Structure 1
Amino acid sequence: MTRKNIFIPFTIILLLLSITGYGQANKWELVTLDSYKNKNIKYADFTYDPNVRTVQLYAVGGDQLNKQLNLPFVFLNKRTPLVLEFDVFGDDADYYEAEIVHCNRDWTPSELQPIEFMRDYNSFKLNEFDFSMSTKVPYVHFIFQLPQVKMSGNYVLKVYKEGNKNDLIITRRFLVAETTAAIVGEVVDRNGSERRYKQQIDFKVNYGDLTVVNAMRDFSVAILQNGRWDNSIENLKPRFIRGHEHILDYSYGNGENTFWGLNEFRVFETSSLNGGGATVSSVDVMKNFNKVRLHEDLIRNGKAFNQQRVDYNGNYLIYASGKRDHWLEADYMEVIFSLKAETPFPGDVYVYGGFSEWQLNEEYKMVYDDKARKYFGSALLKQGRYDYMYTVLDTKNRERDNIAAEGSFNLTRNIYDIIVYYRGPGDRGDRIVAYKKLNTKR
C-alpha cells in the first residue's frame, strides 16, 4: 500500500509558509508566503515541507527525555548515536530516503566523495515510523538513527522523498570532532561600557602534533551560543601564535569573540490540559484541535535582569503528561502568544526559538492590535515545554534586532560551543580537531 501525504485542512495550517531565503547566508532565513516550489538545498537546518513538523536531530545521551536537548555533535572515536525524529501531518505519508553530505568549514559542500567519509553506501531508507495515538491532529512519526562516518568535520543530513533527491523535506547540520587538539577557555566580562550587556569567550588552542604550515590559513574557529548557528561567530583567526609551544591564542580585545548576552528565555508548557502552570492563561478544548492561550508577555528591554527562571537555552522538549510514548501520544495545539507594547516596534515582530529552527517564519509573525496595544500571534506546536523569545525585523534592511523586546545582560546563563577546524597538508576537507563547551557559570 502506497502511503500518501494528506494535508490537514485547518486554517492555521493553510497559512503555513513556503520557503524563500533572505538575510545572512547560512545564518537565518525569512520564511515567507511564496510558493513551496523553491527546494534548492540550504546547507543549514531547514524544513522544506509545511506538513513536516517538530524536527529534532540530537545525540543520544542523558536520560530518556532530556536527550532531545543535546546538540547534534559526536566525537569520532566514540559510538554515540545521532537520532533524527520528525512528524508528517496526516493519516499516511510518503516514503523517504536520506543521505549525508560532508561540508567545508563554511558549510559549502566539500570535494570529498562519499566513499572517503562514509562506512556504508550513502543512501538510507527511513523505514522506522508509527502513527499517532488518540490525538486530535493525526500524524506519522519517523525516527532514523544516522550511520557512523569515518572522518571528522561538518555534515549535513538530507532527507527527501524516495527516488527524488531534489524533492527535499529536511536538511539538518551535525558535527563530528576529533580530539587531536585541546582547548582551554572561559567566558569573561567585557571591559568598559559593554560590560553589562555582552559576554566574551577567551580561549587557547594547543594543536599538539598537527603539522602547521600557516596557522592563519590552516585553522579556523566557530563559536556557537546555545548551539545556534543564526548568530554564530565563524572564521575566527588567532590573535597570537606561539609556535614553539603549539599554542593559538584567541584572547581578543576588540569584540571579535564577543556575544550579546541577551536574556533568559521565556518559557511555556503545554504538557497537560489540566493546567499548564503559571504560563498558561486558558485552554479551549475543541473538536479538531485545542487552543492554549499564554499569559500576556511584557517587553523586558530596559527592565531589571531576573535570573529566577530555568530555561533550556532556546530548545524544547516533547512531553505529554501521563503518557507513555510522548512522541506518539503528544497532540498538536494552537498556542496563542501576546506581547504588551504601548506603541508598535519599527519593524515586524516574530516569536522564535529552537521550535522555529531559529528562522523568522511567517507562521510565527505577530500582528499589532492598536486597541489592545498588544501584539498577537499563534503557532501550531506539539505538546511539551518550549523556550522562546521575540525579535524585531527591519524589513527595509533585512536586519534582525534580538534586543528590542528582550534586552541583553552579561549575567544571562548561556552555553558556548567552540569548534576548531583544521586543514593540513594533503587534507582535501576541513577536519574538526577540537571541541569545547563552556558555561557562563552565573
Structure 2
Amino acid sequence: MDHELDRRRVRRGIRNLVGTTAIAALVALGTSSCIASPQPDAASTSPTAPEAASAAPADPEQAAELAELVQDAMDDMHLKAVIVKVQVGDELVIEQAFGESMTGVPATTDMHFRNGAVAFAYVSNLLLQYVDDGTVALDDTVDEWMPDLPESDVVTLRMLTNQTTGYPDFETDEGWTAAYNADPFHLFTFDERLDAAFSRPMQFEPGTNWSYSHTNFMILGEILSQIGGAPLDELIQERVLDPMGLEQTAAYDSSFIPEPVLHSFSSERRVALQVPPGQAFYEESSFWNPVWGTPMGAAQTTTVDDLVTTAIAIGTGELLSEESFHEMTDSKLIGFGEHLPSCGGSCFTQVDAYNYGLGVVRSGDWILQNPLLSGYSAVEAYLPSDRVAIGVAATFAPEAFDDDGIYDNAADSLFRLIGAYVAPDSPPPTKG
C-alpha cells in the first residue's frame, strides 16, 4: 500500500465530511438504564494512572500517518478528545489518545465512556442465541410476551430488531423531549418511555416501512428478560459480554462511569433553555443519566479496547450459527422504506451507505454501530474481507455545536477516513 498517496487522498476528503452527517450517522443512537453490575476497582483505574499497556504498532510509520490524519480531522471537526484503535487481523495498527478529557487532563486509551447503541448489537446477539437453541423464532409475534402492545399479534421479534414495527419512537415525543431537556439526570422508567411512545398512533402498518425507533429495542429487551427468566443485564453479561472477553464493558442503573473517565461536554440543550444564538453555552454532560434509548439493563460504559473486541466478535459471528450471523449482518433491506410524514426524518429508504441488519448497521461491506449521545460520539466497525477492526470515541469542543446545539457524529466521520486509509479497496461509503 502506498501509505503516503493514500494519506493525501484521504486528507482531501476531511473538509467534505465536516459540517455534514454521513448517511450512517443520520440517526442518533441512544443509551438507557440497567441493573447495576459490580464496579471496577477504582484504585486500579485512577485518573492519574498511565495509559493502559498495549502492543507496539506493527508499522510505526503507518501509525504516525494515521495519528496525523486524526489530528487534522480534530482541528477541522472541533473535537476535544479522540481515542482510536485500529487492528488488522492480529496486528495492531494504532492505539492512541488525542486531546484532553478535561482541561489539563490528557485523554488516555483506557478511559471509559458510554457506548449507547453498541448495546443493540449485544441485545440482538442474545436474541439470536435463543433462536439458535430453538427457544424462539425470529417470526414469533410479540403477543406471547406483551399482548397489550398495539398490533402485538402482527409485530414479530424480527421487526423489533430490524426497525420495521411502525412503533413510534418515544424519543421524538415532544413531552418526553421536554422532560429530558428539563432534567437530563432523570431516570426514565420503562412505563414512562412506553407511555411517551404510544401517546401517538402507529407510524405505519407493521412490516411495510423502516423507521429508526428506540422503542423497538426497549420492548425487545423486556421480552428477552422474560425469555431468559432473569434481568437483561445479567443475561447479556453471561451470554454475550463474558464470552466475547469484554472486561471493561458493564451496565449500570445510574450515571456512574468507572474511572478513568472520558468526560463529555455539550450544547444540545441550548434551544430548550432558550439560550440566545451567539451567547456562549457549553456544559458538562458526562453524568447525564443514560436511562433512555437502550433497553432497561443495557445502559453501558466501555473502552476503546472493548469496542474493537466487539467489532471483531460481532463482525465474525463469534457466538452465533452461520445462519444467525447472516440474519444479523446481511444487507437485506436495501431499497426498502420510504419517507412518510408520520415518522419525519426517522423513516427513509435503506441504501448501501446505510442499511440496517438486526441490531447492527451495514455501510458498504462494513458492519458497525455508531452511537451519538450526550456529547459522546463513538464507532465500532469491522470489515470481514480484510479483517479490519476500528474503534473510535470522540468528544466535542464548543465550536462543534451550531446555534441550535446540533452536532455531527464525528466518530463516524473519523471511522470513514481511517477505514479509507487502512482498506482503500473497500472504503466505507460517505454518500448514499
TM superposition score category, shorter chain reference: under 0.3
More strand per residue: 1
Normalising by structure 2, we get a TM-score of 0.25
Highest RCO, 1 vs 2 (Cα 8 Å, sep ≥ 6): 2
Give 1 or 2 for the bigger CA radius of gyration: 1
